Amino acid sequence: MQIPILDLKAQYANIKDEVIQAISDVCDNQAFILGPAVAEFEEKVAAYCNSKYAIGVSSGTDALLVSLMALDIKPGDEVITTPFTFFATAGSIVRLGAKPVFVDVDADSLNIDPSAIEQKITDKTRAIIPVHLFGQIAQMKAITEIAKRHNLAVIEDAAQAIGASQDGIKAGNLGDCGCFSFYPTKNLGGFGDGGLVTTNREDIAQKIKALRDHGQSPRYFYKVIGGNFRLDGIQGAVLNVKLRYLDGWNEKRRQNAALYDSLLADSPVKTPKISADNVSIYHQYTITTPERDKLQQFLAENNIGSAIFYPKPLHLQDCFSDLGYRPGDLPIAEQLCKEVLSLPIYSELATDQIEYVAKTVRKYYKMS
């Protein structure tokens, strides 16, 4: 049996006719930049996330960048975030001349540890970017309480968490704004790059709408300097189709995760820990084991794809060496980088495929 880490062709086969029709409509309209398909998508995502506003942008990275711009993050400002995330979370902070201040993660949720945030706050701190890693929302009650006490903005990096909720509140709706990515491998993936910002604050929504189009408002009049952060019509059209399937796909991922949980419960690997107040969308199903590299090789020998998100924490990346972090500074994130392994979790997986993966993990540990 051959099981890739992700099979986007299987998803496409199920929706091909609808998607082709939607793309064809955009071609007929020749509305390639923003336009009606993007406007419809923004309306639908706002309703889906229970947010007042949703603004489509060119990528998840640009969603973060434009959010920081809208919040007036400037050179010299400090922004607190996690070192155990995709590069863009911190890259976007540095691109504005601000300084990322990394706080270690919690070993169970893999998300930023709220109890370690307050000691890193200085008079330069302006914002916190919690990341909802692998589809589970960070501990937002504690984070927003700290933010309120210190008058800090909160930007959710929800790139991996569209549809996830905490106490019934959807991702993107738990801070000042939420940043989403439609990179093709995300739970809601476009046919190219795409992103979106959700917010309940009208001031932020208006700023981001201007900033994504060079800062113009009205047309050809510029009070601020933005960029070209617009979402394509074809992406809006594809995403409109896919959004209808998202809850079903996310539910299937949860069922797949539950099956892995039960099949691996007595094995030495640590399975994902989802807190009782959270509904995860399992963007990844990530196990941890000190024998990660050998297990990954054994899976590969048995034709099972797996992936390491992430092999090196951001505070130790070469490009951030001037920040002065040393190995051992954020020990939990550093340990996780040596132990995490993501298994196939996509919605189209069949039960016997999940059983084969779990059986192969057990076989590695010489379990029946």
Report the interface residues with ligand PLP, using CB under 6 A.
59-61, 85-86, 88-89, 131, 157, 159-160, 181, 183, 193, 195
In whole angstroms, give the CA distance from residue 23 to residue 41: 14
Residue 33 CB neighbours (<10 A): 12
In whole angstroms, give the CA distance from residue 136 to residue 272: 10
Q: Between 159 and 164, whose beta carbon lies closer to ligand PLP?
A: 159
Alpha helices in 271-330 (DSSP H): 292-301
**Strand residue runs (E) in 167-217:** 169-170, 177-181, 195-199
Q: In angstroms, give the least distance from the CB of 362 to ligand PLP.
A: 30
In whole angstroms, give the CA distance from residue 175 to residue 84: 20
Q: In angstroms, give the least distance from the CB of 262 to ligand PLP.
A: 27
Q: In angstroms, give the least distance from the CB of 101 to ligand PLP.
A: 17
Q: Between 51 and 89, whose beta carbon lies closer to ligand PLP?
A: 89
Give 174's contacts (C-beta < 8 A, 6+ positions apart).
137, 140, 144, 154, 156, 166
Q: In angstroms, give the least distance from the CB of 161 to ligand PLP.
A: 9
Q: Between 245 and 310, whose beta carbon lies closer to ligand PLP?
A: 310
Residue 87 CB neighbours (<10 A): 14
The residue number with the shortest CB distance to ligand PLP is: 60
Q: Between 53 and 134, whose beta carbon lies closer to ligand PLP?
A: 134
Q: Between 133 and 304, whose beta carbon lies closer to ligand PLP?
A: 133
Token output for 221: 């009049």
Q: Between 56 and 354, whose beta carbon lies closer to ligand PLP?
A: 56
Q: In angstroms, give the least distance from the CB of 67 to ligand PLP.
A: 11
Q: Between 111 and 353, whose beta carbon lies closer to ligand PLP?
A: 111
Q: In angstroms, give the least distance from the CB of 197 to ligand PLP.
A: 12
Token output for 18: 């609808």
Is residue 170 classed as helix, strand or coil in its secondary structure? strand
Distances (CA, A) of 96 to 66, 164, 175, 204, 213: 10, 29, 21, 17, 18
In whole angstroms, give the CA distance from residue 304 to residue 344: 8
Q: In angstroms, give the least distance from the CB of 92 to ligand PLP.
A: 8
In whole angstroms, give the CA distance from residue 11 to residue 144: 37
Dihedrals φ, ψ of 166, to 5°?
Answer: -135, 120
In whole angstroms, give the CA distance from residue 163 to residue 268: 31
- Match 């210190």 to its residue by tokens: 150
Q: Between 62 and 353, whose beta carbon lies closer to ligand PLP?
A: 62
Q: In angstroms, give the least distance from the CB of 195 to ligand PLP.
A: 5
